[in-house]
Structure 1
Amino acid sequence: MCLIAFQWDPPGETPLVVAANRDEFYARPTAPMAWWEGGRILAGRDIQAGGTWLGVSAGGRFAALTNHRDPSRTRPDRATRGLLPVRFLEGGHTVGAFLDEVRTEADRYNPFNLLLYDGRDLLGFESRRDRVVSFTPGIHAFSNGDFDEPWPKVEQLKAGLVDAEGDDAALLALLQEAEPFPDERLPSTGVALEWEWALSPAFIRTPTYGTRASTILRLGREAVSVLQQRFSPEGPEGRSEVRFRLA
């Protein structure tokens, strides 16, 4: 998962609205969003490593993960980060208690960001800084840098969410914005300039790597709705829509 924007409204009828893109190599096998065995987690699944990048539980817990882009700190032998959202969704810890556990083991993983909601509190965690982040009500976003770090696509999506928050079609259109940004606006994350450029828009398209799924999630006090549009190198390839009442 490489781009997430969210509207946080703690006292509202829909405390959390999420618009997110997952970017990955096309060759990496993935299962579409569906209920996992036992009916406790609704999420997509990374078949290669067994985890997920975004999911919600039957009781209204939410978890999302992005990698932090820094090749100098990435090693292939570390544990898969995608199991962290699964642990949170399957468990009963508060966000704070869960992050206390994660902080003791974060160095087992390549750098990551976690966004977690337990039905009451929403917190973020930046592993490379060992930093827990709380959020003011309103719109926030992050990609493969820090929370609310002003990368061009992060700022573009935050601005668009102001007007499109209630419109799934408009949110999907924002997530499919594929125009790269000019070189002078690109972040410097340790990859070659041509990759910074290719990875700069909300929707990524390269011959081998790109946006695999766009997800709109509305987590209310009593019910949840999730829309996921999936993509192949040739274009849209499938859509899932799920609505359920909280258990």
Structure 2
Amino acid sequence: MCIVFVYNGANETESDYSLILISNRDEHFERPAQCMSPWKEDSTVYGGTDLEPGCGGGTWLAVSPHRRKLGLLLNLPGVKKENAKSRGKIVSDYVMSDMAVSDYIDFIHIYSKQCNEFVFLSLDFGNSTPKIETYNNATDELNEWSDTYLGFSNSLPNKPLKKVEAGKNKLKSICSRLNKIKDRSQLIDELLHLLQNKESHLPDDQLESRQPVLYKELSSIFVSIPIGKYGTRAHTIMLLSKSGHIDLIEISMQSPIDVGNPHWERSEFQFDLL
């Protein structure tokens, strides 16, 4: 389970930000991964790397300031396909390509059908108004979103979980108050607090049907299942100002993860779009 929220402030004249993205990565603690860093394959790309054998070094989230694009993957719980292809490869190949997302989806169409079900989120911030799109291989739909506040998790994009709706409301409260560069520090603190929210959002019939065993534990934005060695193990925050400055922050559990007392490490990167 993972979750992402997006603020599209391009048309809000009082805001200094054209785009804010915040995300949690939920994963098994024992699954090996490299924290966010520039990639050896392409130093213009920043993201984590899945080190699980057989997964081809894919990722759950990556951003290329050079190409002005971001890709993120959310899984859709369901039937597991035999010999399924790596979903993380979809993100890594996208951010290292110069293809528009519509062309890229056409290019990977056959491959995507061999993957377990997923939602792929793409952000194109090459223009003053960011382009936000989702593709899912369950219904084979590519949709563009223009809402100011967006949220997606482990359900079809047009059928959000209750915790997604709650998180969008919290994001709106934050971004409507702290949309000036001078408030950057407080903005980041409150966005992180949102990602760490452990409040349960039930009842949620959709979540219960998708996850009948663990739906209670998965009903919060921050997920913690110590006995299962599973939960939120990375937070990502990206701020894009209207002047073209990017703040990219990842706060992740340091491996090997001590379930009882995890150590969180913070990485920060800054870029100016030319």
Query: 1:122 and 1:179, CA in 2 relative to 1: closer, same or farther beyond 3 A?
Result: closer
Question: Match for residue 221 of structure 2?
Answer: 202
Aligned residue among 68, 72, 84 for 2:76: 68
Residue 143 in structure 1 maps to residue 143 in structure 2: no
Q: Quick one: which amino acid aligns to residue 45 of structure 1?
A: T
Deviations 1:27-80 (A, max 9, x none): 00111111111412100111112111111113121111100122xx22362111
Shift of 1:150: 3.2
| Aligned mates of 1:178, 1:205 — CA distance in 2 | 8
8 Å contact from structure 2 (residues 36, 267) kept in 1: yes
Aligned residue among 193, 196, 202 for 1:176: 196
SS at match of 2:210: coil
Shift of 1:206: 0.9
| Aligned mates of 2:11, 2:203 — CA distance in 1 | 41
The alignment's TM-score, normalised by the length of structure 1, stands at 0.90
8 Å contact from structure 2 (residues 161, 204) kept in 1: no
Question: Match for residue 232 of structure 2?
Answer: 211
Question: Match for residue 183 of structure 2?
Answer: none
8 Å contact from structure 1 (residues 228, 241) kept in 2: yes
Residue 87 in structure 1 maps to residue 93 in structure 2: yes
Shift of 1:122: 2.2
| Aligned mates of 1:177, 1:186 — CA distance in 2 | 20
Residue 246 in structure 1 maps to residue 273 in structure 2: yes
Question: Match for residue 22 of structure 1?
Answer: 25
Aligned residues: 244
Deviations 1:105-143 (A, max 9, x none): 321100011111232432110110001111123001010
Look at both structures and tell me which one has the larger radius of gyration over its CA atoms. Answer: 2
Q: Which moved more, 1:162-171 or 1:79-88?
A: 162-171
| Aligned mates of 2:201, 2:172 — CA distance in 1 | 21
Shift of 1:228: 1.2
8 Å contact from structure 1 (residues 229, 236) kept in 2: no
Q: Quick one: which amino acid aligns to residue 219 of structure 1?
A: L
Query: 1:102 and 1:15, CA in 2 relative to 1: closer, same or farther beyond 3 A?
Result: farther
| Aligned mates of 1:114, 1:211 — CA distance in 2 | 19
Question: Match for residue 121 of structure 2?
Answer: 115
Aligned residue among 214, 237, 240 for 2:264: 237
8 Å contact from structure 1 (residues 122, 135) kept in 2: yes
Question: Match for residue 56 of structure 1?
Answer: 63
Q: Quick one: which amino acid aligns to residue 154 of structure 1?
A: V
Q: Quick one: which amino acid aligns to residue 3 of structure 2?
A: L
Aligned residue among 36, 40, 52 for 2:39: 36
The alignment's TM-score, normalised by the length of structure 2, stands at 0.82
Question: % of aligned pairs identical?
Answer: 26
